[in-house]
Structure 1
Amino acid sequence: MSDPETSQKDNDVESTEQLKHLVLEQTYILKRLAATFAPEVEEERQRRLVKLLVKSASIVAIGVSALVGSWEFGVYLKETWDVRSMANDYAQVGVRLYYDENNSAVAKKFIGKALELQPGNAEYLFLDAYIDGMSSVRDLFNLDRPYDASELNSAYEALAKSVFLEQQQPDSAEPYILRGQIYAALKDNERALETLNHAITIEPENDFALMRLGVINYNAGNVEQAEYHLDEALSINSNSKWALLWKGVIASDGREFEKSKRHFSEALDIDPRFDMAHYNLGWAYLGAKKKDYENAEKSFRKALSLNPDFKEAFYGLGMVFGYQNQYSVSKEYLSKAIDIDDRFFTAWKWRGIVNDELGLYDQALTDFSSAISINPSNSDIYMRRARVSLKTEAYDESLVDLLLAKKYNPKNARIYLYLGQLYLKLNQLDASRDAIETALSLKKNYSDAYSLKADILIAEGLFEEAIMALSNAVDSTKYRRERFYIKRANLKFKLELFDEAYEDYVLARDDNPNNSEAWLGEFNALIKRNDKGQAEKALKEYIKLKPSDDKIQSYKKLLD
């Protein structure tokens, strides 16, 4: 049984421990309350809350700004895209105009617009430099005279552009194609071939480079190699209009005109607006044995409809009408060519020839002098000016020009022909004969030289030899052969060989029905033969061609 006192002590101790524990819990709770609701703590809480609210507001503000900025940035991106797209459209139009339409001037304008929108675009800078350089090359290639200082500078500027292009795109063939073209234009075929071969090393399948390599080989006289490269270009790109064009040019230069027309037509099947093909097709029609004036004219006109500044096409039209002895019309077209380029040497030369044929000798002399100012070392122009001076009896001026022409080209048979004419005019028969024999030694079948030889023989009274010389003239040419038929007929008429004269006059008007002199000669020969019925017919044909001749009434009286 337990002790009652001890039990009481134990109860007191337990109560004391419980009280201490309660006090400790209360103290802890009070500290927690103080920590939570004390004034300084409340202030700190408010400060943190404000900070949190500010931070949240900032995040919201930034979010809103981002949304607004994204819209503005989107607008900016759209505007940039539109500019880039527009610039690309301009550039693509420029490229198509250059490659498809062969119009470098307008192509450069479109590339320029692309560069205005994107000034630093490397691709557009490349295209601009390439087209500019190739345009310079085309101008140099088409020159019919030596370069002047500005043109030579243009060539070197084009060379500089090729270096720029190489820096822009070192692994591209175009810079080397351009440089090869420039070297070719400068007649530096060795470097041209080397440069284009390098272009093909970079891009073996570049048909344009192969085509240009063919052209340069052709210009260097390597016809077989040229054909090989052109065929190679066509094997890579069967639609290479330029390769077909040059195959046509090679055939035309070789007088294979049907073949050349076929190649030009093939090029036009690919690109009906290919002005160079129309132009060269025109010359193929003119070069054929039987000239096709109608189709030649159509071809040159088509080239002009595609390229109104195609001065060579105006020159071609001038030749179409000149060959048909329609000199006034020919002169108009040659003048248009000169209006486009007042340094177009060939146009000045042929307008001088046309003015000579029209009997406008002062204008002919002016034209030939203009041509000489452009190309002062061209012997042909001195010779032609000398011929006009000879007609106007300016013998001293004629001799000076002929001697200059002989200095520049001592192997030109025509110079000796004109020297022979000059000496004959001065009645220096020995000198005239020597000149003609030299001409015939340089050109065996020289019809004009035989004709002049006949004049010398007539001056010496050797008429049978003169008739033989004129027969040689007839046999030596097919160009305007009626000239020599008429001359032989006139000599026979003078010798009272009327039947033979009549036969020659008939041959002359058969060759050229528009030759009034042939019809008049036939009329006179028939009158001498007392064949007035046929003579009347011949006179009617003459009157159609020369209705203003004041001798017509006197001719009609011979029919009574």
Structure 2
Amino acid sequence: SFSGLASSPMLQATVSSFLGDDAQAIGLLVEATQKSFSAPILIQLGKLQMKAQSFMAVIAFSKAIKVNPCHAEAYHQRGVCHARLQQPESLQDLNRSLTIDPSLFQVYLSRAAFYGAKGFYSKAILNCNEAISIQPNSTRAYLYRGALKIRLKVSKATFIHQCSLCFHANLQFTVQALRDYGITLLLPGPKQLAFKTLVNRALLYTELNDPCNALELQESVKAYTQAMRFHPFFLEAYVGRGNALMDYGHNQARKQAQRDYLSALHLDPLCQSARICLAYNFQVFGRFQWAWNQFTVAAELTPRNWAAFEGRAVVNLQMGSMYAAFQDISSALKVAHTYLFTNRGVINQLMGDKVNAMRDYKKAISLIPSYALAYFNAANLYFYNRQFEQACEYYSRAVELDPQDESALLNRAITLSLLRKVPEALSDFSLALELNPSFAHVFLNRANLYCSLKEYQLAEKDLNDALRLQPSDALLYKLRSEVRGHLGLTQQALQDYETALELHGDLET
């Protein structure tokens, strides 16, 4: 007997729904509810309306709850309906359903689905565990839990990948970044995530370039190669591997880099990064005309590509075309980076236009007050004009902004020597040598300072160190011959002078 289920309307609605006529089934149940309210009829109506994507399902379930406030299934179905409508009341209804009847297996699975959709995979798995404890043989519950565990691992992989990106952004945490990239690759996850991880790890290895540690570059090349296996047509992987190979610093690697750039251009002739890198590759090999051609193609393809104009300006300088270099760097400045004012200042200075050179340096400083190179170049121009106080001030600012710049320290030391600020000059010479113990020019200029102080023994020692680093420098032999003359080492002074003449026959006597 179906009398307890409002027999005929519910049966007819079930049959109609089974036959695919949901509209007729809903109509039958709506007609039945007009005669009398019943929680089972209202729940059945709500389920059919939910199947038909009708928001009226929420109203049907709410009416069922009014009829029977302790009907756990009504709360369950309304919670599912709220979830589909992306409404926050969903979890409240599911919890209420379980409070009324904690043994409802399906409610735990529904709550697991809710948490899973929100990305709370651990909570979703706990609900699957509860469902399995109620029905230990439920294949569906195990499938849900398995899928959620996979998503949890993928989520962890994504989270760790994001952490590694944060570490990557701060190079103080490079070890942590590399570790997290490695963990991300070990965890199961989508290929796209693994692909991005490989590319980012390769970029980090490249940023960590240390000429004394080729292993990191090898790892960088390996990471780009792996990325290319994931995506053979990914242009940035070819360009990235080429750039890493260029950092090896020898021609065999540069040739391989050239092949990578050409491969990228073969895949996409419009790839600007590959073309510009190829141009710089040609430049390193001394193929200036080839480099010029590539920069020109890049500039013609994308007239607003400042990097193409900047690169061609450098090549023009190397080929002796000063005015063409000036035109190119000015074109680059129309569309891009303010630091290019410094580059144009250098070109103006080489062309003899020192007024406009200083104007460009100061323009760069006004736009980027933390740009150390602009201060350094302006200081050099002040030094050339014998404005030593101003030069010293600008060198100091350059050193403050870039304490690792031994050239700025050396030039400031020379300027301080000319200003007769001896202790400060000697301090800068020492700092420069701490940064670069193989910087022969530091020994030479400190020797000059010692000579002016008549400290000839110290001067000779510095010249010995300079000659150890540059054994074929005629000027160093000439200076040491003079120092040894002051020390009374006549025979050794003559030998040095003869060596200087042999190395540079037209040296003034």
What is the TM-score with the length of structure 2 in the denominator?
0.60
Distance 2:410 2:3 in 1: 108
Query: Do structure 1's residue 391 and structure 2's residue 452 form an aligned pair?
Result: yes
Distance 2:365 2:84 in 1: 51
State whether residues 405 and 415 of structure 1, in contact with CA within 8 Å, keep that contact through their aligned partners in structure 2.
Answer: yes
Distance 1:276 1:215 in 2: 19
State whether residues 288 and 319 of structure 2, in contact with CA within 8 Å, keep that contact through their aligned partners in structure 1.
Answer: no
Distance 2:356 2:473 in 1: 33
Counterpart pick for 2:375 among 302, 314, 319: 314
Distance 1:136 1:294 in 2: 42
Residues 254 and 433 (structure 1), Cα distance of their counterparts in 2 relative to 1, 3 Å cut? farther
Residues 326 and 43 (structure 1), Cα distance of their counterparts in 2 relative to 1, 3 Å cut? closer
State whether residues 5 and 41 of structure 2, in contact with CA within 8 Å, keep that contact through their aligned partners in structure 1.
Answer: no
State whether residues 207 and 234 of structure 1, in contact with CA within 8 Å, keep that contact through their aligned partners in structure 2.
Answer: no
What residue is the counterpart of 1:269 in the other structure? Answer: 334
- What is the one-letter code of the residue matched to 1:182? A
Unaligned runs of 5+ in 1: 1-40, 78-103, 107-118, 141-145, 454-560
1:7-156 counterparts in 2 under 5 A? 47-48=7-8, 56-62=41-47, 67=55, 68=58, 73=84, 147=211
**Aligned-pair CA distance for 1:404:** 2.0
Counterpart pick for 1:183 among 232, 241, 245: 245
What residue is the counterpart of 1:345 in the other structure? Answer: 406
Give the stretch that moved more between structures: 341-350 or 127-136. 127-136
Residues 399 and 253 (structure 1), Cα distance of their counterparts in 2 relative to 1, 3 Å cut? same
Distance 2:45 2:385 in 1: 91
**Aligned-pair CA distance for 1:294:** 2.4
- What is the one-letter code of the residue matched to 2:302? N
1:172-251 counterparts in 2 under 5 A? 172-188=234-250, 189-251=254-316
Distance 1:305 1:247 in 2: 26
State whether residues 317 and 333 of structure 1, in contact with CA within 8 Å, keep that contact through their aligned partners in structure 2.
Answer: yes
**Aligned-pair CA distance for 1:211:** 1.2
Count how many residue pairs are aligned between Structure 1 and Structure 2. 360
Residues 128 and 369 (structure 1), Cα distance of their counterparts in 2 relative to 1, 3 Å cut? farther
1:324-473 counterparts in 2 under 5 A? 324-426=385-487, 432=493, 435-436=496-497, 438-439=499-500, 442-443=503-504, 450=508, 453=509
What residue is the counterpart of 1:553 in the other structure? Answer: none
Q: Deviations over 1:407-428 (max 9, x none)?
A: 2212223212321331343355
Distance 1:157 1:314 in 2: 37
Over alpha carbons, which structure has the higher Rg? 1
Residues 50 and 168 (structure 1), Cα distance of their counterparts in 2 relative to 1, 3 Å cut? closer
1:286-305 counterparts in 2 under 5 A? 286-288=349-351, 290=352, 292-305=353-366
Distance 2:6 2:84 in 1: 39
Residues 353 and 299 (structure 1), Cα distance of their counterparts in 2 relative to 1, 3 Å cut? same
State whether residues 172 and 202 of structure 1, in contact with CA within 8 Å, keep that contact through their aligned partners in structure 2.
Answer: no
Distance 2:273 2:2 in 1: 87
**Aligned-pair CA distance for 1:284:** 0.8
Distance 1:76 1:320 in 2: 68
Find the residue that maps to 1:233 and give its secondary structure.
helix
**Aligned-pair CA distance for 1:174:** 0.8
**Aligned-pair CA distance for 1:370:** 1.7
Distance 1:246 1:43 in 2: 89
Residues 47 and 201 (structure 1), Cα distance of their counterparts in 2 relative to 1, 3 Å cut? closer
- What is the one-letter code of the residue matched to 1:266? S
Sequence identity (%):
19
State whether residues 275 and 304 of structure 1, in contact with CA within 8 Å, keep that contact through their aligned partners in structure 2.
Answer: no
Unaligned runs of 5+ in 2: 13-31, 33-37, 59-79, 89-167, 171-183
Distance 1:161 1:350 in 2: 41
State whether residues 364 and 374 of structure 2, in contact with CA within 8 Å, keep that contact through their aligned partners in structure 1.
Answer: yes
Find the residue that maps to 1:275 and give its secondary structure.
coil
Distance 1:128 1:333 in 2: 43
**Aligned-pair CA distance for 1:160:** 6.2
**Aligned-pair CA distance for 1:212:** 0.9
**Aligned-pair CA distance for 1:245:** 0.6
- What is the one-letter code of the residue matched to 1:62? K
Counterpart pick for 1:278 among 341, 346, 353: 341
What residue is the counterpart of 1:480 in the other structure? Answer: none
**Aligned-pair CA distance for 1:281:** 0.7
Find the residue that maps to 1:376 and give its secondary structure.
coil
**Aligned-pair CA distance for 1:306:** 3.9
Residues 367 and 153 (structure 1), Cα distance of their counterparts in 2 relative to 1, 3 Å cut? farther
The RMSD of aligned alpha carbons is 4.0
**Aligned-pair CA distance for 1:184:** 1.9
What residue is the counterpart of 2:148 in the other structure? Answer: none
Residues 42 and 372 (structure 1), Cα distance of their counterparts in 2 relative to 1, 3 Å cut? closer
State whether residues 444 and 476 of structure 2, in contact with CA within 8 Å, keep that contact through their aligned partners in structure 1.
Answer: yes
Residues 210 and 43 (structure 1), Cα distance of their counterparts in 2 relative to 1, 3 Å cut? closer
Distance 1:304 1:192 in 2: 35
State whether residues 282 and 300 of structure 1, in contact with CA within 8 Å, keep that contact through their aligned partners in structure 2.
Answer: yes
State whether residues 208 and 216 of structure 2, in contact with CA within 8 Å, keep that contact through their aligned partners in structure 1.
Answer: no
- What is the one-letter code of the residue matched to 2:429? F
What residue is the counterpart of 2:26 in the other structure? Answer: none
Residues 397 and 173 (structure 1), Cα distance of their counterparts in 2 relative to 1, 3 Å cut? same
**Aligned-pair CA distance for 1:444:** 6.1
What residue is the counterpart of 1:475 in the other structure? Answer: none
- What is the one-letter code of the residue matched to 2:364? A
Distance 1:308 1:179 in 2: 34
State whether residues 379 and 404 of structure 1, in contact with CA within 8 Å, keep that contact through their aligned partners in structure 2.
Answer: yes
State whether residues 417 and 439 of structure 1, in contact with CA within 8 Å, keep that contact through their aligned partners in structure 2.
Answer: yes
Distance 1:277 1:399 in 2: 42
What is the TM-score with the length of structure 1 in the denominator?
0.55
**Aligned-pair CA distance for 1:209:** 0.9
Distance 1:410 1:46 in 2: 108
**Aligned-pair CA distance for 1:222:** 2.4
Distance 2:451 2:413 in 1: 15
Distance 2:2 2:347 in 1: 107
Residues 218 and 44 (structure 1), Cα distance of their counterparts in 2 relative to 1, 3 Å cut? closer
